[in-house]
Structure 1
């Protein structure tokens, strides 16, 4: 019974042969009217990262210093 499940007929079916052959029909694809292509926008500038932004934001935070003293035997 397990071999039947493993090697038996699968529930997945392939597309019919005529649909598979349509994938390779380049002449039929080229003969179809082309869809209206959207206008392509070109970017004329590039943005730069702000330098020092992190330091500006962190300057506003309070600084807390915690010192830990260990005994000499540790």
Structure 2
């Protein structure tokens, strides 16, 4: 099973936040936690740029591995 979503839902209402794992040097990853069934991730320097969507369990596993 592919862990990244190939098509994302409408992200107009996404509540983006800077990931707590971002370095604070302008190299920030933003995530939106309020989209059902997907965790969208984007580069804060390019908010209109590409977005990658992860299955929630895949994102949780990734974050757990960082900790």
TM-score, normalising length from structure 1?
0.18
TM-score, normalising length from structure 2?
0.19
* More helix as a share of residues: 1
Asked which structure has the greater RCO (Cα within 8 Å, sep 6+), the reply is 2
* More strand as a share of residues: 2
